[in-house]
Amino acid sequence: MANDAPAAPGVASPSRGPRGAALLAGNGAVFPGAELGGEEGVALSAERLAIYAAHMAGETRFRHLVLRGGARGGQDAGPPTSATLQVLFELAPELVVHWGTKARPKGGQTVRELLPGAFGSGHLAPSTAKGKTAARTGATTRKTKAAAKAGALTKRKTKE
């Protein structure tokens, strides 16, 4: 697969030309992507489009991602940007990423290795009451007390 990444028909950035991606899913399906952005690199990268298409098709397990540049896919597209790596980390941290050319392959590292110390779901507070923050728990307690007080006033007025 690394030698057969698609040519990139997307919008070219002046510095590196068109960029394409091929994502190999766990079931063997290949999802292509073409860059849709300018030289800033944060519009829609080829690799993000490929993984979004795969997710829309119901795929959640991935093996390899190959990036190629140039009109015929023969140029080095370079590694993913940090913004793209963050998206890939959230969706597929063990995905192995390849770039370079047929003659000079590069990469072969997981997203986790390419973005060490990345923010992930493990950094989010659990949704259970035990894991809630003090401020959030306090707000919930205040709401509960206010509702109880309102209920008591309603009962008192009904008795009178």
Residue 152 and residue 83 share a domain: no
Is 90 contained in some domain?
A: yes
Q: For the domain that residue 67 is a member of, what is the CATH number?
A: 3.40.140.10
Q: What is the pLDDT of residue 10?
A: 43
pLDDT at 15 over 70: no
Closest to 94 (Cα-Cα) out of 58, 63, 60: 63
**Secondary structure class of 31 (helix, strand, coil):** strand
pLDDT band at 127 (very low <50, low <70, confident <90, very high): low
Tens of pLDDT, residue by residue over 71-109, are 888 999 999 988 899 999 999 999 999 999 989 999 999
Q: How many domains does the chain have?
A: 2
Q: In terms of DSSP bridges, do strands 105-110 and 96-100 run parallel, antiparallel, or are they unpaired?
A: antiparallel
Is 36 contained in some domain?
A: yes
User: Would you tell me how many other CB atoms lie within 10 Å of the CB of residue 91?
Assistant: 16
Q: What value does the mean pLDDT take over residues 99-124?
A: 87
C-alpha span between 121 and 54 (Å, rounded) = 20
pLDDT band at 56 (very low <50, low <70, confident <90, very high): very high
Q: What is the pLDDT of residue 114?
A: 93
Q: CA neighbours within 13 Å on the CB side: how many for 34? A: 13
Q: What is the pLDDT of residue 66?
A: 96
Q: What is the pLDDT of residue 11?
A: 42
Is 8 contained in some domain?
A: no
What average pLDDT does the chain have? 76
